[in-house]
């Protein structure tokens, strides 16, 4: 079981700046890429967004590309992840944080 937290800092939009927390079941092994894809699908579900499977797949691809570009950070038990193919242990109940920090206006 993975405990997921998604946070965005520096946004004037209160709704997107809110912390979203949920749990994901974990198979025997999962890569960072697979976890991002599962987290995207679950976030869409939790936010009540009405999108089809094709749009979910589009959001998953964009999230993986954003991670590769460094648009957001992923921390597992406080340790930053850098490799999309890094394997995460299934029996580890560590908290996983997705964090996006936006620049200050003019800063």
What are the tens digits of pLDDT across the range 15-71?
545 677 777 776 678 899 999 998 999 889 888 888 999 999 999 999 999 999 998
Domain count, the chain: 1
- Calpha distance 50→83 (Å, rounded): 31
Q: How remote is the C-alpha of 13 from its chain's centroid?
A: 19
Q: Residue 9 sits in which domain range?
A: 2-101
Please indicate, yes or no, if residue 34 is contained in any of the structural domains. Answer: yes
- pLDDT score, position 12: 55
Tell me the pTM. 0.80
Contact assessment for residue 89 and residue 28, using Cβ atoms and an 8 Å cutoff: no
- CATH number for the domain harbouring residue 44: 3.10.20.90
Please indicate, yes or no, if residue 107 is contained in any of the structural domains. Answer: no
Compute the 3-state secondary structure of the chain and give helix, strand, coil in percent, each to the nearest 5. Answer: 35, 30, 35
Residues 6+ apart with CB under 8 A from 79: none
Please indicate, yes or no, if residue 106 is contained in any of the structural domains. Answer: no
């Amino acid at each position: 079981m993975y405990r997921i937290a998604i946070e965005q800092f520096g946004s004037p939009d209160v709704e997107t700046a809110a912390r979203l927390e949920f749990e994901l079941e974990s198979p025997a092994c999962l890569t960072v890429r697979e976890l991002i894809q599962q987290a995207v699908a679950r976030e869409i579900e939790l936010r009540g967004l009405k999108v089809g499977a094709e749009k979910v797949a589009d959001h998953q691809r964009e999230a993986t590309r954003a991670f590769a570009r460094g648009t957001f950070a992923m921390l597992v038990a406080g340790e930053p992840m850098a490799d999309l193919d890094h394997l995460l242990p299934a029996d580890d109940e560590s908290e996983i944080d997705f964090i996006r920090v936006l620049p200050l206006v003019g800063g």
